[in-house]
């Protein structure tokens, strides 16, 4: 970037450069004065640009270890796979990025109806499954319009769908956004959910039972909102 343009865009650039480079004020003034050769300034900015990128890369959000409850004391869910998608996503805790679930080296695809909600996980929870060396956060399905992977939503738990998958108990927290304008169902507890939307409950249940024909799955039952809160607290880190 030419120095003249830089001075125009960044009127306080001397202060910024001093902070990121650790250089003296006089050195920074030389950079902004235009007295340094163009190639020297470009090299300087390029070098510190790389440093900045490295710093940004090291400051990625650690979604798995976000607080379970927000500052407003609302349960939080990190979205992995948006509603309406057939392409499951997962969170790579090592790179702190959202990536496609892989099957035989290729991105996985759900060969069934699309997801009936936004599928994600509850941060700072951990449940141990046999055959898995690492703990996994509790899964959650947020009943709302589609939102991108990586969205952190404040939610109200409606209940829990309990399944037996390959001989092991698995739980999916069913939730609605806490913000009224984001809600698509007029329900904020289990009783309202099953009374007003029995068909929605049945659709969700059927989807998780049958979306993967290669996975032996059977229904264990449902837990209400109070039991769901107890379940979440049980698996807090």
All structural domains of the chain, each given as residue ranges with its CATH number in brackets, are: 3-58 (no CATH), 63-234 (3.90.80.10)
Rounded to whole angstroms, the Cα distance separating 149 from 80 reads 5
Give the pLDDT confidence score for residue 108 in this predicted structure: 96
Helix (H) or strand (E) holding 39: helix 38-58
**Residue with the two structure tokens 């399905």:** 141
Nearest by Cα to 128 from 164, 94, 168, 161 = 168
Taking residues 17-33, what's their average pLDDT? Answer: 49
Taking residues 146-164, what's their average pLDDT? Answer: 99
CB 27 within 8 Å of CB 19: no
pLDDT tens, residue by residue, 34-82: 555 555 545 545 545 544 444 444 578 999 999 999 999 999 999 999 9
Across 14-23, 192-201, 226-235, least confident range? 14-23
Share of the chain above pLDDT 70, in %: 74
Nearest by Cα to 63 from 109, 125, 135 = 125
CA-CA distances (angstroms) from residue 167 to 3, 32, 221? 66, 67, 15
**Residue with the two structure tokens 């510190």:** 48
């Amino acid at each position: 970037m030419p120095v003249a343009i830089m001075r125009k865009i960044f009127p306080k650039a001397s202060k910024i450069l001093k902070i990121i480079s650790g250089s003296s004020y006089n050195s920074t003034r030389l950079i902004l004065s235009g007295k340094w050769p163009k190639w020297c300034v470009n090299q300087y900015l390029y070098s510190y640009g790389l440093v900045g990128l490295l710093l940004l890369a090291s400051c990625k959000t650690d979604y798995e270890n976000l607080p379970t409850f927000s500052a407003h004391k609302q349960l939080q869910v990190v979205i992995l796979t948006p509603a309406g998608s057939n392409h499951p996503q997962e969170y790579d805790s090592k790179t702190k990025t959202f990536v496609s679930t892989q099957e035989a080296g290729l991105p996985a695809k759900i060969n069934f109806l699309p997801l009936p909600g936004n599928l994600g996980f509850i941060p700072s929870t951990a449940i141990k499954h046999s055959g898995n060396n690492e703990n996994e956060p509790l899964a959650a399905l947020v009943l709302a319009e589609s939102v991108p992977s990586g969205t952190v939503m404040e939610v109200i738990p409606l209940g829990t769908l309990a399944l037996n998958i390959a001989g092991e108990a698995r739980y999916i927290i069913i939730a609605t956004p806490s913000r009224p304008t984001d809600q698509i169902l007029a329900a904020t507890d289990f009783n309202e959910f099953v009374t007003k939307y029995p068909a929605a409950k049945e659709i969700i249940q059927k989807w998780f039972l049958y979306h993967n024909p290669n996975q032996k799955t059977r229904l264990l039952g449902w837990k209400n909102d109070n039991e769901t809160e107890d379940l979440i607290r049980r698996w807090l880190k």
